[in-house]
Structure 1
């Protein structure tokens, strides 16, 4: 199991966010249902749901965060600078913890799940592989949103 591409995607997401204003990060560009902050929070929450929850493990993020950024949600209020800083910390710390938990053998059980993409995940390795694709897609959305808010 290799999560290096996910780590790189998260680093690129943080780099993108670091170069933007709070207003730009919170703006929902025309043609989109969400903003850059939502996409960033969404990838963090989704990795936790796919890897931890489907494996019957306790997630490393709060239920409040899950409710705010899970699939099917949209921004209800602007994120604060403090919230964005917390997300940046979680982005990398949750992956480091996941690596450690994986090495410790915490993901032996897995509840099969079919994603909205139509991919059926049967084990933790498939969840990690799918998550990497999912995160890359949302980074791409965020890059398009950056271009739109700066147009």
Structure 2
């Protein structure tokens, strides 16, 4: 499958700019609140977006991940703030990674989107380029949670 790299990278950057706009408008006092009916906080969702994208780009290839391995215990699948036994990365650190991650990945993976994975992954993905759309829909999914959590926090503050 031939990819138009510019289109895929522009989509990744566009989604991230939207996420940054939403998260940049959040009061830092709200990032650790877990409203009733939710399992996670805004901080957890942002960390999970970062971890997920890095994990998928490095899944089934030889390259080392860009995100610290400690992020898995804070933001990996099945974790939540209720499982944290030490201080998670700061909101400022997460916002900086959220901002820089797309360019870091673009620099590292430009020209490599046709590169095959070591084996086909779930959903039939077999190249690095096929990973990008998966990370985009995942980011939108968690961005919806971030917006819902913020609305609940705002509604409860009134």
- TM-score w.r.t. length of structure 1: 0.84
Structure 2: 5+ residue stretches without partners: none
Per the alignment, residue 113 of structure 1 pairs with 121
Q: Is 2:20 aligned against 1:14? A: yes
Change (3 A) 1:58 1:23: same
Q: Give the one of 88, 98, 110 matched to 1:91.
A: 98
Contact persistence 1:26–1:79 (CA under 8 A): no
Question: How far apart in 2 are the matches of 1:67 and 1:83?
Answer: 15
Bigger radius of gyration among the two: 2
Partner of 1:135: 139
Tell me the distance in 2 between the aligned counterparts of 1:142 and 1:4: 23
2:77 aligned with 1:71: yes
Q: Kindly indicate whether residue 129 of structure 2 is the aligned counterpart of residue 125 of structure 1.
A: yes
1:61 aligned to 62, 67, 87, which one?
67
Find runs of 4+ consecutive structure 1 residues off by over 3 angstroms: 77-80, 104-107
**1:35-90 Cα shifts (integer Å, max 9, x gaps):** 1111111011001111113322101110011221111111127977x711111111
Q: Name the CA distance, whole Å, in 2 between partners of 1:27 and 1:147.
A: 12
Q: Is the 8 A contact 1:13 1:40 kept in 2?
A: no
Task: State the alpha-carbon separation in 2 of the partners of residues 148 and 7 from structure 1.
Answer: 28
How far apart are the structure 1 equivalents of 2:114 and 2:100?
Answer: 18
User: Given the two structures, how large is their TM-score scaled by the length of structure 2?
Assistant: 0.80
Paired residues, what number? 146
Cα RMSD, aligned residues only: 2.3
